Structure 1
Amino acid sequence: MAVSLRRTALRVAVSSARRVPSSIRYPLQRNGVDPVPRLEASRSRGDVVQLARLLGTRVWLVTGYDVARSVLADSDAFANDVRELIGRQDRAPAERIGGLGMTDQPDHGRLRQVLTPYFTRRRLAELQDDIDRVVSDALDDMAAHGPVVDLVERFGFAVPFGVICDLLGMPEVDRTAFRQHGAARFDLRDAGTSIFDTAAGTRQFLIDLVAAERRAPYLPDGIVARMVADHGADFDDVELGGLADGVFLGGYETSASMLSLGTWVLLQHPEAWQALRRGERQEVDRVVEELLRFVCPVQVAFPRIARREVMVGDTRVREGDVVVVSLTAAGRDPARHVDPARFDPTTEAAGTLAFGHGLHRCVGAELARMELRSALVALARRFPDLSLACDPAELRFTELAIVHGVEALPVRLS
């Protein structure tokens, strides 16, 4: 009864919140690509610290790599379904939250099995030519608008957007309108839970696309059309549209941030830039894995709710408490890396948590790696003398966001 009352009170508080309290913002803030000092300083108090206490419910922050990996993998002790806390299930279908990241078994398995066949190694290998074409078109566009261009707009966003639209089977006529809906989905500066209201535009767009595919398939090989053909009898438009929205959500903004922030890091490390130009697979893989660790644009994992009293590291977490894993901090854990603040692609960086871990690991992780390898190698070869075209102090990064990014990155092509 006590846990139920605490959850009810917490749901009301979170649902009515319009801003993220300043005292708990630091896991969603950065200095460039580096953690803010307060996040780093929290390590002195241990791998698990209390982030907040909301109406009797404690919110814990995990910063240590090993503890983070353990929490992310433990779907028995922790639930991902936080929908009752957000309180959006009484809204229109497009305004409700959900998807793979906020569902537990058996719903999670039921939904994930729909997407998994589209992300097998064989299926991804078939996408390589399409990815290379999208990358080539973006590079041509950069050349046409040079000698100084905004890499965020013309490359960072252009590449993953083109890839994800091809993957979904998005008609060309709809892509401009669809892209406008993708903005501000992760920006928390002006509101807390209104982020889910912002997401309604893209979700409704994809729900409508599912309905249109039922009437007349557009691209038979697109994920939306194939989901309708293979699972249309078992899932309604809202469920399939939500899955398509998850593909968009996981494959667009995050990859865009990785390409843009990753390029900014690479411009400061010419030896890594040269490794990309050489294009040797082992070297390229190490650069990509180190970028994932060092940049890690997704700052925190989906929150977990303790199903029972459980030990998280050396901390006793009560049933009903919320646990937030800082992926940024986990990737910079000094217990795992000799010099975690240094970008060093010569070291082995296996085991990144940039895509999560366990049951809820990003289903499109390998697709993201393919994009990064293809895009960054092609960029380094096409524009070997690429350089920043502004004072680094003029760059503006997201101030408070789940997915960290840079607003613009002016570059000189030669």
Structure 2
Amino acid sequence: MTTQNTATGYGLHQSILPNDDGLYGEFGGKIGHPELAKAMAEIEVGFREIIKNDDFIAEMKRLRETYVGRPSPIYHAQRLTEHCGGAQIYFKREDLNHTGAHKINHCLGEVLLAKKLGKTKVIAETGAGQHGVALATAAALMGLECEIHMGVVDIKKEHPNVSRMKILGANIVPVSRGAGTLKEAVDSAFETYLDELDSSMFAIGSALGPAPYPEMVSYFQSVVGHEARAQFLATTGKLPNKVVACIGGGSNAIGMFSGFFDDKDVEKIGVEPAGEGLDTPNHAATMSLGVKGEIHGFKCYVLLDEKGEPAPVHSIASGLDYPGVGPQHSHLRDLKLATYESATDAECLEAFMALSRLEGIIPALESAHAIAYAMKIAKDMSADETILVNLSGRGDKDIDFILDKVDL
């Protein structure tokens, strides 16, 4: 069963739709803080109204085609396939979107919603900077103020994206508390939002957080999977055997999986960061080693420390170093409708260089986790089988960091 998504012409499958309490099984939920709960309710009502509005639907269609450059193409990576042996590897080229990643898909929707609600400012967190760049881009396009909270570690690591955000007019708020990465950026952004509820809207960068954000972000990202399914059928005459996407919070993965939930023979695989190894404390493998808990106002699988608090985590990819995961993915794991694996920092670097050298495509370090897993499993599959990877972002932002890590 699928619920129609009028803004995209596609739909969200019942497995990733919440109940009236914002729950996916036992995961997700609505925030309890009274003032934030009122703000979330305003966003939810506005979201449900705007996606039925003909003017909004027409504007989203126009922007996707003429501004983002959709549909993004399907690409057969022939040299990478030959290098790995076995299955044919294909990519959904979200890296070719304007701003360089899938994040623009939901940022346009979020900023249009903010305008409808009469807000003058959008506030957000960012890790790798891709969400920050996309939100700053959409805010510039639509004339809204934009404030981005970013950990000091990620600011140093992802400075090309920091520069882009500044050029686009965003105010960057450095966050130095704790580990100085994505979790702390979320904390800081929510605190600012609480002081500016009347004039601003929080624009979460992944399919997580309290309701309605998981549903809203997956709604706007569902265009990826539905495009990919139709394109893959048109290109190959069949569906892929496996669909693979990296996962931190889960927006690009839920978008990719959305087109294939009625296809039981298509295996959906999310690849999370194993960091320096699952046998070390330096990873962000929430699905592999996490427990059921709560973070930032919603229930999900989460990595906890000895005090029962969200644990410090590590990934070479700034966009994946989050100790929680989206509630839809937590639910899909329990329902066994998707599988969750991992890739280490070393495997990620190897995949980054392989795609760059063999196909002339420099991927984001986040996306390289999915590429690494596809490369690993391809050799054990037959040549007439296929793997479709969501190449969720390009690696311009990571180049300087890579030069310090790889001997060229």
Q: TM-score, normalised by structure 1?
A: 0.33
Higher strand share: 2
Task: Please say which structure displays the higher CA radius of gyration.
Answer: 1
- The structure, 1 or 2, with the larger RCO (C-alpha pairs under 8 Å, 6+ apart) is 1
The alignment's TM-score, normalised by the length of structure 2, stands at 0.33
- Bigger proportion of residues as helix: 1
